[in-house]
């Protein structure tokens, strides 16, 4: 029988955060689908409506939290999938830090877009 291996340890914070972000993402994704596909149909979505929604503090915080959780969940999942496939040594370190940098850049750019949509200027 094949040996079961996972890079996740149940005592690890990343293991817990992977599960917590999954639950959060399911809830926010359901909210997103309800609001933007059932309350407002896709054909009715316009830039002005997006700006109006993003200018509401609760919606803004929810969407930025969604961005951060989704980025962490995806980057952490890709990294652990690669580790589970046997990635070791220098390639593992390069991938790890490459994913961290990519994730940070994605979050920074996402927050920049969100603040513009909300009409917030950061000097």
pLDDT tens digits, one per residue of 62-86: 999 999 999 999 999 999 999 989 9
pLDDT of residue 4: 61
Tell me: pLDDT of 9 over 80.
Answer: no
Cα gap 19→103, rounded to integer Å: 18
**For helices 57-84 and 47-54, angle between their N-to-C axes, nearest 10 degrees:** 90
CA atoms within 13 A on the CB side of 46: 4
pLDDT band at 17 (very low <50, low <70, confident <90, very high): very high
Look at residues 5, 101, 117 and name the one whose alpha carbon lies nearest to residue 53.
117
Tell me: pLDDT of 120 over 90.
Answer: no
Q: What is the DSSP letter of 18?
A: H
For the chain, the structural domain boundaries read 13-118
CATH number for region 13-118? 1.20.1300
CA atoms within 13 A on the CB side of 74: 13
pLDDT of residue 47: 86
Q: What is the DSSP letter of 104?
A: H
Residue-wise pLDDT tens digits, 26-57: 999 999 889 888 887 777 788 888 899 999 99
Show the DSSP H helices in 3-120 as ranges. Answer: 13-33, 47-54, 57-84, 89-118
The token pair that represents 93 in the structure block: 């370190």
């Amino acid at each position: 029988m094949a040996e079961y291996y996972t890079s996740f340890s149940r005592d690890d914070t990343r293991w817990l955060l992977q599960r917590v972000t999954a639950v959060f993402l399911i809830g926010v994704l359901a909210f997103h689908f309800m609001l933007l596909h059932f309350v407002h149909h896709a054909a009715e979505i316009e830039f002005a409506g997006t700006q109006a929604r993003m200018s509401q503090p609760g919606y803004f915080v929810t969407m930025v939290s969604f961005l951060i959780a989704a980025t962490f969940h995806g980057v952490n999942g890709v990294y652990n999938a690669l580790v589970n496939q046997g990635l070791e040594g220098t390639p593992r370190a390069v991938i790890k830090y490459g994913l961290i940098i990519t994730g940070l850049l994605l979050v920074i750019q996402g927050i920049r877009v969100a603040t513009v949509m909300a009409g917030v200027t950061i000097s």
